[in-house]
Amino acid sequence: LAKTTQPISMDSYEGQEVNITCSHNNIATNDYITWYQQFPSQGPRFIIQGYKTKVTNEVASLFIPADRKSSTLSLPRVSLSDTAVYYCLVGDRGGGFKTIFGAGTRLFVKA
C-alpha cells in the first residue's frame, strides 16, 4: 500500500512556477503516479500521469527521479484560477482499494 505525503498548503503569486512534491517511499514496481486538481464542490480533475523520468502535457510537467520515491508536479506560470487542492495518487493495475488519495496540497495563488 503506497502511502503518499504532500505539503498541506503552498502559496504562490500569479506568473510564478509552482512545484508540489509528493513523497511515496514504498512505491511498488508496478505503481503509476497520477495527479488530480480539485476545486471546491467539484470532482477531482486529472492533470498528469507518469511512471518514471519526466512527463509533460499542455498544463503541467511531472518529474520522477530514478528511485521513484517521490514525484514533483510542476505548474508553469500559475494564475488565480489555479487555486485548488492538488492530490497525488499512487497505484497499479490491481485492486482499487489499494489506491488511496493522499491528504492533498492546498495551493493559494495571489495576485
Please give the residue ranges that form the binding site for other proteins (CB under 8 A): 31-32, 34, 36, 41-46, 49, 87, 89-104
In the block, residue with C-alpha cell 499512487: 90
Q: How many angstroms separate the Cα of 70 from the Cα of each of 15, 78, 96? A: 25, 22, 21
Closer residue to other proteins, CB minimum distance, 20 or 87: 87
Supply the minimum distance, in Å, between the C-beta of residue 36 and other proteins: 7
With H, G, I as helix, E, B as strand and everything else as coil, classify residue 14.
Answer: coil
Supply the minimum distance, in Å, between the C-beta of residue 15 and other proteins: 28
Whole-number Å distance between alpha carbons of 90 and 101: 8
Closer residue to other proteins, CB minimum distance, 16 or 55: 55
Closer residue to other proteins, CB minimum distance, 2 or 75: 2
Instruction: Write a three-state SS string for 81-101.
Output: HHCEEEEEEEECCCCHHHCCE
Closer residue to other proteins, CB minimum distance, 13 or 26: 26
